[in-house]
Amino acid sequence: MTVHESEFSEIKFFAEKVYVHYWPPDSPKWSNLITQQVDKDMNKNNEKKQILIKNNVILINNYEFNDLKKIGMTIPLFKKECTLVFEGNFKELFAHVHITTKARNYLEIFNKLMNWRSKYFSDSML
Protein backbone atom coordinates (compact mmCIF):
# COMPACT_ATOMS: atom_id res chain seq x y z
CA MET A 1 0.00 0.00 0.00
CA THR A 2 1.36 3.41 -0.89
CA VAL A 3 1.37 6.38 1.46
CA HIS A 4 -1.25 8.00 -0.78
CA GLU A 5 -3.66 5.07 -0.30
CA SER A 6 -3.18 4.88 3.48
CA GLU A 7 -4.30 8.50 4.00
CA PHE A 8 -7.88 7.40 3.26
CA SER A 9 -8.07 4.70 5.91
CA GLU A 10 -9.34 7.02 8.64
CA ILE A 11 -10.58 10.59 9.05
CA LYS A 12 -11.09 12.07 12.52
CA PHE A 13 -12.52 15.44 13.47
CA PHE A 14 -14.94 17.11 15.85
CA ALA A 15 -18.32 18.42 14.73
CA GLU A 16 -20.08 21.32 16.35
CA LYS A 17 -23.41 20.29 14.91
CA VAL A 18 -24.93 16.91 14.08
CA TYR A 19 -28.50 16.41 12.98
CA VAL A 20 -29.89 12.89 12.49
CA HIS A 21 -33.45 12.24 11.41
CA TYR A 22 -35.70 9.48 10.14
CA TRP A 23 -35.41 8.96 6.37
CA PRO A 24 -36.45 7.78 3.77
CA PRO A 25 -40.22 8.04 4.19
CA ASP A 26 -40.83 4.44 3.09
CA SER A 27 -38.52 2.97 5.77
CA PRO A 28 -39.73 1.69 9.17
CA LYS A 29 -40.68 4.54 11.52
CA TRP A 30 -38.50 5.25 14.56
CA SER A 31 -39.98 4.68 17.99
CA ASN A 32 -40.44 7.68 20.28
CA LEU A 33 -37.68 6.28 22.49
CA ILE A 34 -35.18 6.22 19.60
CA THR A 35 -36.15 9.74 18.50
CA GLN A 36 -35.74 11.04 22.06
CA GLN A 37 -32.37 9.31 22.47
CA VAL A 38 -31.03 10.67 19.14
CA ASP A 39 -32.24 14.16 20.09
CA LYS A 40 -30.55 13.91 23.49
CA ASP A 41 -27.29 12.46 22.17
CA MET A 42 -26.90 14.46 18.98
CA ASN A 43 -29.59 16.80 17.66
CA LYS A 44 -30.11 18.88 20.81
CA ASN A 45 -26.70 18.27 22.38
CA ASN A 46 -24.45 21.34 22.10
CA GLU A 47 -21.23 19.47 22.93
CA LYS A 48 -18.81 18.69 20.11
CA LYS A 49 -19.21 15.20 18.70
CA GLN A 50 -16.24 13.07 17.67
CA ILE A 51 -16.47 11.90 14.08
CA LEU A 52 -14.45 8.89 12.93
CA ILE A 53 -14.67 7.74 9.33
CA LYS A 54 -13.00 4.45 8.59
CA ASN A 55 -13.42 2.75 5.24
CA ASN A 56 -17.18 2.74 4.58
CA VAL A 57 -18.38 3.35 8.16
CA ILE A 58 -19.02 6.61 10.02
CA LEU A 59 -18.90 6.68 13.82
CA ILE A 60 -20.48 9.66 15.58
CA ASN A 61 -19.61 9.31 19.25
CA ASN A 62 -21.10 5.83 19.91
CA TYR A 63 -23.45 5.70 16.90
CA GLU A 64 -22.16 3.60 14.01
CA PHE A 65 -23.55 4.29 10.55
CA ASN A 66 -23.07 1.85 7.69
CA ASP A 67 -24.67 1.07 4.34
CA LEU A 68 -23.92 4.69 3.39
CA LYS A 69 -25.63 6.30 0.39
CA LYS A 70 -26.16 9.72 -1.19
CA ILE A 71 -22.99 11.17 0.29
CA GLY A 72 -22.42 14.86 -0.26
CA MET A 73 -20.17 17.58 1.08
CA THR A 74 -20.53 21.32 0.96
CA ILE A 75 -18.82 24.50 2.07
CA PRO A 76 -21.58 27.08 2.46
CA LEU A 77 -20.90 30.53 1.02
CA PHE A 78 -19.53 33.06 3.49
CA LYS A 79 -19.04 30.48 6.25
CA LYS A 80 -15.85 28.88 7.51
CA GLU A 81 -17.24 25.37 7.86
CA CYS A 82 -17.97 22.22 5.91
CA THR A 83 -20.95 19.90 6.06
CA LEU A 84 -21.15 16.20 5.29
CA VAL A 85 -24.61 14.83 4.45
CA PHE A 86 -25.48 11.17 3.90
CA GLU A 87 -28.06 8.45 4.29
CA GLY A 88 -27.14 5.39 6.32
CA ASN A 89 -28.20 2.75 8.81
CA PHE A 90 -27.67 2.57 12.56
CA LYS A 91 -29.12 -0.01 14.91
CA GLU A 92 -30.98 -1.45 11.89
CA LEU A 93 -32.73 1.89 11.37
CA PHE A 94 -32.53 4.23 8.39
CA ALA A 95 -31.42 7.84 8.82
CA HIS A 96 -30.43 11.03 7.04
CA VAL A 97 -27.45 12.73 8.72
CA HIS A 98 -25.94 16.22 8.57
CA ILE A 99 -22.50 16.77 10.18
CA THR A 100 -21.05 20.28 10.34
CA THR A 101 -17.56 21.19 11.48
CA LYS A 102 -16.22 24.68 12.02
CA ALA A 103 -12.71 23.43 12.73
CA ARG A 104 -9.88 25.71 11.69
CA ASN A 105 -8.80 23.06 9.15
CA TYR A 106 -12.29 22.66 7.63
CA LEU A 107 -10.87 22.91 4.09
CA GLU A 108 -8.45 20.05 4.80
CA ILE A 109 -11.33 18.01 6.25
CA PHE A 110 -13.43 18.77 3.16
CA ASN A 111 -10.64 17.58 0.84
CA LYS A 112 -10.15 14.39 2.86
CA LEU A 113 -13.89 13.73 2.71
CA MET A 114 -13.91 14.21 -1.07
CA ASN A 115 -11.00 11.76 -1.46
CA TRP A 116 -12.67 9.27 0.91
CA ARG A 117 -15.91 9.41 -1.07
CA SER A 118 -14.05 8.87 -4.35
CA LYS A 119 -12.16 5.89 -2.94
CA TYR A 120 -15.00 4.01 -1.20
CA PHE A 121 -18.12 4.91 -3.17
CA SER A 122 -18.70 4.70 -6.89
CA ASP A 123 -20.77 7.33 -8.67
CA SER A 124 -23.69 4.92 -8.78
CA MET A 125 -23.84 4.89 -4.96
CA LEU A 126 -23.81 8.67 -4.45
For the chain, the 3-state helix, strand and coil shares in percent, each to the nearest 5, are: 25, 40, 30
Residue 43, pLDDT score? 97
CB contact at 8 A, 48 and 15: yes
Do 85 and 97 touch, CB atoms closer than 8 A?
A: yes
Q: Average pLDDT for residues 104-126, to the nearest whole number?
A: 86
42 burial level (CB within 10 Å; 0-12, 13-18, 19+): buried
Segments making up each domain of the chain, as ranges: 3-125
Identify the pLDDT of residue 6: 46
The predicted pLDDT at position 122 comes to 73
Mean pLDDT value across the chain: 91
| pTM, 2 dp | 0.89
CA dist., res. 124 & res. 34, Å (int)? 31
For residue range 84-113, what is the model confidence (pLDDT) as tens digits? Answer: 999 999 989 999 999 999 999 999 999 999
Tell whether the model's pLDDT for residue 123 goes beyond 70: no
Q: Which CATH number fits domain 3-125: 1.10.10, 2.30.29, 2.60.40, 1.10.540?
A: 2.30.29
